[in-house]
Structure 1
């Protein structure tokens, strides 16, 4: 398959995939398509399976490319002919849940309320505190759904939206810190530089989530006297 045909196969499941992204994954050694005498890339079915494995691990668990590369190498050493359609997931925290995919990224307000379990009054309060906001008038993305579901879950234990202000402030500080790290990459005009910036952002988000979960577990262990 040509790179355009591979992109057409992957786009329905991974809408944010681009040709630049596929070239970036090739440059990082995640896939090695053959080349025609004229220099055009030709992908095998196994190449597409590897790409689907990589993209799933990035989307669902924010796994760094080095971890994904190690997983693929281990499977090759075990003489597995092709990776499975889904990776061996590495949880970043106890009972970690996967973030919504981009296919869920345009929800109406009614759909957000239904899928999160929040009522209208609570959603208004969450929006007032800046924890959730529409990406377009009356439309919410997958991240808004993830936040709303977390708020609804915490509410079952008696935590109200007003108790969650610190999460917004902490996230804003992390965004500012990470933005400084990403700025040099974003100033690069070539597509590979921007793809590298997007990949770094995913890795930073995953590591931040891992650190936060570990610190909370350690604190709770002390509280429980264990």
Structure 2
């Protein structure tokens, strides 16, 4: 039997009277502290072995107080410390053995406009396979296939993905949990393609130069322009939202 981790579940604590909860009730409890959590996320964490709810004869999940606290621990650790599920599972196993588990200092949120991209914990390899991408984004084959059908991600001829696809997949997954479907993201992808095309036009003369240093300067210039484009995009979105929400 699994035991709850130390630290409790914050605002999302199940009743202490032993009653079992449906997945919908668990979702309502957790959303006090984790408004982005979804039933799909809870099911995914169950599939990964991080929680083991009981099942009724008809197959419905029933969660105990300890289950809710485990889920809250997982979600809190992901949110505050950006730890992968494998490490969180090891922490939970250690807590069940009565061991103390030190956590890294909470990650500090970055300002979208400070010019620094958010950390995405990308693999160090230049290419990732389909299974690695699915694991990194914490989604299933059906979700990835849908993203590909809308042109949000595209595998190479060998079936692998550029390492940057990991960051894209994670962001698509996060937006999906917030309610944005792949069809909603086509406009963002189209805008990104247009911005990339504009940067490419600007650095094209440098890239055609025979001097290797000049070509290297073209790549550095392209990265700088891309960063400025991202900052401008974020600033424009925030400005538009201020007008609409006030």
- TM-score relative to the length of structure 2: 0.51
Is the 1:101–1:142 Cα contact (8 Å) retained in structure 2? Answer: yes
**Counterpart residue number, 1:178:** 199
Please point out which of 198, 208, 217 is paired with 2:219.
Answer: 198
- Residues 76-113 of structure 1 show CA distances to partners (whole Å, capped at 9, x for unaligned) of xxxxxxxxxxxxx9853699513666724322111111
- Cα distance, 1:119 vs. partner? 1.9
Paired with 1:105 and 1:172, the residues of 2 have a C-alpha distance of 21
Paired with 1:181 and 1:203, the residues of 2 have a C-alpha distance of 12
**Counterpart residue number, 2:241:** 220
Paired with 2:138 and 2:116, the residues of 1 have a C-alpha distance of 19
1:55-74 to structure 2, matched below 5 A, reads none
Is the 1:107–1:141 Cα contact (8 Å) retained in structure 2? Answer: yes
1:68-147 to structure 2, matched below 5 A, reads 92=113, 96-98=117-119, 103-147=124-168
- Cα distance, 1:224 vs. partner? 2.2
Paired with 2:115 and 2:209, the residues of 1 have a C-alpha distance of 37
Aligned structure 1 segments of 4 or more residues deviating by more than 6 angstroms: none
Q: 1:135 to 1:129 in 2, by over 3 A?
A: same
Q: 1:102 to 1:121 in 2, by over 3 A?
A: closer
- Cα distance, 1:175 vs. partner? 1.8
- Cα distance, 1:130 vs. partner? 1.5
Paired with 2:202 and 2:214, the residues of 1 have a C-alpha distance of 13
SS at match of 1:189: coil
SS at match of 2:124: helix
Paired with 1:96 and 1:199, the residues of 2 have a C-alpha distance of 16
User: How many pairs are equivalent?
Assistant: 137
Please point out which of 174, 190, 195 is paired with 1:169.
Answer: 190
**Counterpart residue number, 1:34:** none
Q: 1:95 to 1:187 in 2, by over 3 A?
A: closer
Q: 1:220 to 1:150 in 2, by over 3 A?
A: same
Q: Which has the higher contact order (CA 8 A, sep 6+)?
A: 1
Paired with 1:100 and 1:197, the residues of 2 have a C-alpha distance of 27
Q: 1:214 to 1:171 in 2, by over 3 A?
A: same
- Cα distance, 1:180 vs. partner? 1.3
Paired with 2:174 and 2:215, the residues of 1 have a C-alpha distance of 36
- TM-score relative to the length of structure 1: 0.55
Is the 2:199–2:225 Cα contact (8 Å) retained in structure 1? Answer: yes
Which sections of structure 1, spanning at least 5 residues, go unmatched?
1-88
